Structure 1
Amino acid sequence: MIQSLVFDKDGVILDLVGTWFPVVEKLVDYTMMRVPATSRDTVTRSRLLASIGVDEASGNIDPMGLFAMGSFTDIRAAWQTLMPPGSIDLQNDESYRVEAKRLVRELVHGNTVPKGDVVTPLKTLAESGFQLAVLTNDSEDSARRSLDELGIESLFHPIIGADSGHGGKPEPHGLLHCLSVHGTDPSRALMIGDTGADFGAATNARVADFICIADDPLYRPHQDVKVDNVISRLVDLPDLLARQGYMPRS
């Protein structure tokens, strides 16, 4: 019997584009301001976005790209490869890091966009006896703030970020830590996510199964993700678990 449900945050509970794309656009604009004027013909806004899996012209987002899968540390590392020699060190320049954090706080918190109705299904799952946790490649503090804005932080324990001391996905350590807190064997747990990093964590931790949030099965992050395990929103999760025999039908 399944006991634990571990959720990714962005693209699963939160609308990834609605919540984070305005932030990334501002970070790109700020990063461009820090690029020497003589290099702005080669280091362009389009190239910065493309390096993290965002096509500026079409607006398409690669579900396997860094915008969808990575942390801001990963994004800065990708952008650093485009910086001209001798220019700003995005990972270590204190003024850049401080301003980037300010932009995130200013633009995200208070503007969290849920991915549809997430409150109803999550409360249903908690009331059905499942233990819920969040595992994100965002920071733990940012995750807690966003979940609190939606009024659902108290449903999850633990809430683990990339900076919580267990590494990031697709490594399994954060997921295994969540299950350890629950006292749950991996064979009695499901990972619910939308990216290759989520699927990788589920595979590496050897949990019972992976539930994918995607608008279409074609967008699932790996061909090994079962088509029958693809749902477009969390509101569909209780019914899916009921069909699979993991909870009573409503």
Structure 2
Amino acid sequence: MMDAAIFDKDGTLFDFRATWGGWTARAIDHLAGHGADRALLARRLGYDVAAGVFAKNSPVIASTTPELVDIMHGFVPRMDKGQLLDSLSELSAAAPQAPAAPLRPVFEALKARGLKLGLATNDTEAPARAHLAGAGVLDLFDFVAGCDSGWGGKPAPGQLLAFANRVGVDPARSVMVGDSLHDLHAGRDAGMKRAAVLTGIAEAGELAPHADVVLPDISHLAAWIDEQRRS
């Protein structure tokens, strides 16, 4: 039986390349105005600006915003860490999001099945809420946690366990839905089922050993949950 689902945001609800490629390019341009070397910063972020392609090990893919600040601050000489965190959070909140599937119908279908819904992101909470609101789905979520919400970030399971506690659902009757190993490891350590989606950077062969199912995108989740409930 499945009673709750908690989702990653970037690469899961929103297509990672379409959304965060543009954000990374804009962040590099913005920070160049504060003394950063564009080429050096792009290499540090694992992003080819000309091709619009992320390296597999790009820290943008799964790092928390404070972790990105730690990685970047030495390359932005005119900003301290606090200024850099504020700047990245503002850029994140304003980043145009490219939904990975029609989000309102997906989440309405899950709510119609009686599921509690949560979000666990390594972004900070304010941009996460702004992105959900912009997509017209914030009202469908019972829980939203960012890396600054008090439960840490993934791959640790704190956000997921806080969600299960908040909505009163056994983690074993919940599923973590994400596009990265950070998501799947958090789900495993929280005692949840794990559903991987292919709207991020990681490929099926990388995700499959750590997931109960690999789906093309979140629009396929309701059918999988129906199968779990019948079994």
Scaled by the length of structure 1, the TM-score of the pair is 0.81
Judged with a 3 Å threshold, the aligned counterparts in structure 2 of structure 1 residues 130 and 247 are, in CA distance, closer, same or farther, namely farther
- RMSD across aligned positions (CA): 2.6
User: Between Structure 1 and Structure 2, how many residues are aligned?
Assistant: 230
Matches within 5 A, 1:129-148: 129-148=114-133
Paired residues of 2:101 and 2:217 also in contact (CA < 8 A):
yes
Paired residues of 2:4 and 2:174 also in contact (CA < 8 A):
yes
Aligned to 2:71: 78
1:182 aligns with 2:172: no
1: distance between equivalents of 2:201 and 2:24?
Answer: 27
Compute the displacement of 1:223 (Å). Answer: 5.3
Compute the displacement of 1:112 (Å). Answer: 2.7
1:246 aligns with 2:229: yes
Compute the displacement of 1:217 (Å). Answer: 11
1: distance between equivalents of 2:148 and 2:121?
Answer: 10
Compute the displacement of 1:98 (Å). Answer: 4.6
Paired residues of 1:52 and 1:66 also in contact (CA < 8 A):
yes
Give the fraction of aligned pairs with identical amino acids, expressed as a percent. 24
Aligned to 2:44: 51
Scaled by the length of structure 2, the TM-score of the pair is 0.87
Aligned to 2:100: 115
2: distance between equivalents of 1:247 and 1:45?
Answer: 53
2: distance between equivalents of 1:22 and 1:241?
Answer: 33
Paired residues of 2:122 and 2:153 also in contact (CA < 8 A):
yes
Paired residues of 1:191 and 1:198 also in contact (CA < 8 A):
yes
1: distance between equivalents of 2:25 and 2:200?
Answer: 26
- Please give the secondary structure, in 1, of the residue aligned with 2:53: coil
Matches within 5 A, 1:17-166: 17-35=17-35, 44-62=37-55, 64-82=57-75, 87-88=77-78, 90-92=80-82, 94=83, 96-105=84-93, 107-108=94-95, 111-166=96-151
- Worse-superposed segment, 13-22 or 190-199: 13-22
Task: Please list every run of 5 or more consecutive structure 2 residues that lacks an aligned counterpart in the other structure.
Answer: none
Aligned to 1:16: 16
Task: Please list every run of 5 or more consecutive structure 1 residues that lacks an aligned counterpart in the other structure.
Answer: 36-42
Paired residues of 1:50 and 1:56 also in contact (CA < 8 A):
no
